Structure 1
Amino acid sequence: MPNAKLKHYLHLHFLVVIAGFTAILGELITIGALELVWYRMAMAGILMFIYIKVVRINIKITSKTFWQFSAAGIIIALHWITFFEAINQANVSIALAMFSSGAFFASFIEPIFFKRRILGYEIIFGIIVILGVVLITSSEMGYINGIILGLFSALFSTLFAVINGLFIEKHSATVISFYEFVSGVLFLTVFILLTGKSFNAEFFTLSTSDWIYLFILASICTAYAFIGSVEVMRYISPFTVILSYNLEPVYGIAIALMLFPETEKMSPQFYLGAILVLGTVLFDAVFKNYQRRRRKTNSINT
């Protein structure tokens, strides 16, 4: 039914807006990026465990699989740390613009993991993305630390997504995510202790607003958003879902401009670079879908 289809499309874009709002919460939460990610993964892991128990999902895995999930959990922890620290070192707009460069990294990382050749048009798109990043960097040299952290965040995010693409062929998405959250918390706990910090009363003494923002981040922007994105794929094609999530930086930057106009207003050169990056990412997704459909049509005709 058309109305039912519209409902699922609206739900999808609501999830994308939630993803973009994650960066806003990173700006609002006052604790450091390391502590923020520890809380996010710990709280999301607990909520995910409750969900697993309610729907009675079997989470038994082999020790080999556990260590594989653990490696991915460490990568996603590093992605979130560099992402939120990029916001601290620069602002939301810089962090999200750099996050868009993940498609460029994917064009080189995917062929390695999935053992396919690098496509010529991916190299061209990659060059355009580099030009966009150069425009942003040259116009915002005062945010160079945030730009570098944002690029590392995009790299870790892409690596994590590609690895999960391999996991999802054999395992439930919920089980994968749960173990990644748990392993991420364990990794961060050890790291925090090795840096000389401790989980004392001060560590758990947060302002009321921080607790509220962290709960929203862990529940709505992490646990719910993940479950919702999996559920919506039952009704909407994976391509449409992926294409829509490429709009995350657009929504995030727009929200940031409305909420923090004094710190988020950037130079015209920044927006030109951001448009180059985002436009290339969207065009890449559309072009790949066109190529896939053409191959499918040719195989039917032959």
Structure 2
Amino acid sequence: MKEALIKLHISVFLAGFTGILGILISLNEGLLVWYRLMITVVSLFALLQWKKKLHHVTPVQVWWMFGIGALIALHWVLFYGSIKASNVSIGLVCFASVGFFTALLEPLFTPKKFSWIETLLGLISLLGIWLIFHFDARYRVGIALGVACAVLAALFTVLNKKYVHIAPPQTMMLYELSGGLVVLTLLMPIYLSYFPVTSIFPGWKDWIGLLILSWLCTVLMMDLMLQALKKVSAFTQNLSLNLEPVYGILMAFILFHENKNLNASFYAGFALIALSVVLQMARIGLPHIRQKQVSVREK
């Protein structure tokens, strides 16, 4: 169990590091995501072929996974766009509002009933984002992109949950990211016509960042998380994943000194978002803990 928890937290730390790499890589958000997808898909395909874990899926299942992958790709573009238009801290704080949008969307796509409690907790997050939105007009584009990113993250999370039975997680991820790569490749000429660049090719420093982003923060992160999930509960996983923005913001403070550019409104907004996350985890966790205590007593 201890080894599984270590692997889980390493995977969450790597997920939090993606925002840092988004600043360090000089490519615009569209090209950054395209290269990330390309390297990840090729690497993951080779890994699954080597381990002989690539499972067969039907054409209909491929279409579903390609559609979800398109949402993931667009989510990543908006996420890095948010960071590049503002900073790592604001991008990650806006991403933390994903719980609110999940509470709204999940009843529409799954049998789960609408929860007023989850919606109210999500509204606390939105109030936090509103405070941040008003603290500095320079960051409003980044905040808007961050909120849109959270909406897409909630949508593909809900759809993933609905169609998780389609294939094993690694195979599903390969097909989803392949779909994202295909869609982004088709959209790239239009994207570059609106956001032209002097060169579409990364420099050597960008290649290093892209390889770290793809191999460590995507393939390795996913592998460690899947290993950990064999031993830890879903509750522990969800609780740990909520630390992703915290890790990323702390790293941004240390590496880029972003805390010097943020005022009291940001911290007040962040505190509200953190409060909503803590209350949600307490709401889910208390029954879980009580059930475990009852089970121990019965033994």
Give the TM-score normalised by the residue count of structure 1.
0.91
Indicate whether 1:60 and 2:56 are aligned: yes
In structure 1, which of residues 147, 150, 156 is the aligned counterpart of residue 152 of structure 2? 156
SS in 1 for 2:166: coil
**Aligned-pair distance for 1:142?**
1.8
Equivalences for residues 209-228 of structure 1 within 5 A: 209-228=205-224
Equivalences for residues 133-172 of structure 1 within 5 A: 133-172=129-168
Say if 1:128 and 1:280, in contact at 8 Å, map to a contact too.
Answer: yes
Query: Taking structure 1 as reference, are residues 264 and 69 closer, same or farther at Cα in structure 2, changes over 3 Å only?
Result: farther
Q: Distance in 1 between matches of 2:166 and 2:199?
A: 42
Say if 1:70 and 1:180, in contact at 8 Å, map to a contact too.
Answer: yes
Q: Distance in 2 between matches of 1:104 and 1:264?
A: 29
Query: Taking structure 1 as reference, are residues 111 and 295 closer, same or farther at Cα in structure 2, changes over 3 Å only?
Result: farther
Indicate whether 1:269 and 2:265 are aligned: yes
**Aligned-pair distance for 1:228?**
1.1
**Aligned-pair distance for 1:295?**
8.0
**Structure 1 residues 72-128: Cα deviation after superposition (integer angstroms, max 9, x where no partner):** 010000100000000111000000000000001111111111123212211221221
Please tell me the residue identity of whatever aligns with 2:200: F
Q: Distance in 2 between matches of 1:247 and 1:58?
A: 31
Please tell me the residue identity of whatever aligns with 1:81: V
In structure 2, which of residues 275, 281, 285 is the aligned counterpart of residue 279 of structure 1? 275
Q: Distance in 1 between matches of 2:172 and 2:94?
A: 26
Q: Distance in 1 between matches of 2:157 and 2:150?
A: 10
In structure 2, which of residues 42, 47, 65 is the aligned counterpart of residue 69 of structure 1? 65
Q: Distance in 1 between matches of 2:181 and 2:151?
A: 21
Indicate whether 1:193 and 2:189 are aligned: yes
Which residue pairs with 1:178 in the alignment? 174
**Aligned-pair distance for 1:294?**
6.1
Query: Taking structure 1 as reference, are residues 294 and 28 closer, same or farther at Cα in structure 2, changes over 3 Å only?
Result: same
SS in 1 for 2:26: coil
Query: Taking structure 1 as reference, are residues 291 and 262 closer, same or farther at Cα in structure 2, changes over 3 Å only?
Result: closer
Which residue pairs with 2:10 in the alignment? 14
**Structure 1 residues 127-174: Cα deviation after superposition (integer angstroms, max 9, x where no partner):** 211211111111132200000000011111111111111222332101
Give percent identity, aligned residues only: 33
Alignment length (residue pairs): 292
Q: Distance in 2 between matches of 1:125 and 1:64?
A: 37
Q: Distance in 2 between matches of 1:135 and 1:280?
A: 15
**Aligned-pair distance for 1:264?**
6.1
Q: Distance in 1 between matches of 2:177 and 2:191?
A: 21
Say if 1:92 and 1:264, in contact at 8 Å, map to a contact too.
Answer: no
Which residue pairs with 2:45 in the alignment? 49
Indicate whether 1:113 and 2:100 are aligned: no
Indicate whether 1:90 and 2:86 are aligned: yes
SS in 2 for 1:30: coil
Q: Distance in 2 between matches of 1:162 and 1:264?
A: 37
Give the TM-score normalised by the residue count of structure 2.
0.92
Query: Taking structure 1 as reference, are residues 271 and 291 closer, same or farther at Cα in structure 2, changes over 3 Å only?
Result: same
Query: Taking structure 1 as reference, are residues 109 and 291 closer, same or farther at Cα in structure 2, changes over 3 Å only?
Result: farther
Q: Distance in 2 between matches of 1:191 and 1:231?
A: 35
Say if 2:4 and 2:227, in contact at 8 Å, map to a contact too.
Answer: no
Which residue pairs with 1:35 in the alignment? 31
Which residue pairs with 1:25 in the alignment? 21
Q: Distance in 2 between matches of 1:99 and 1:155?
A: 9
**Aligned-pair distance for 1:262?**
5.2
Say if 1:101 and 1:151, in contact at 8 Å, map to a contact too.
Answer: yes
Query: Taking structure 1 as reference, are residues 256 and 196 closer, same or farther at Cα in structure 2, changes over 3 Å only?
Result: closer
- List gaps (5 residues or longer) in structure 2: none
Q: Distance in 2 between matches of 1:266 and 1:293?
A: 37
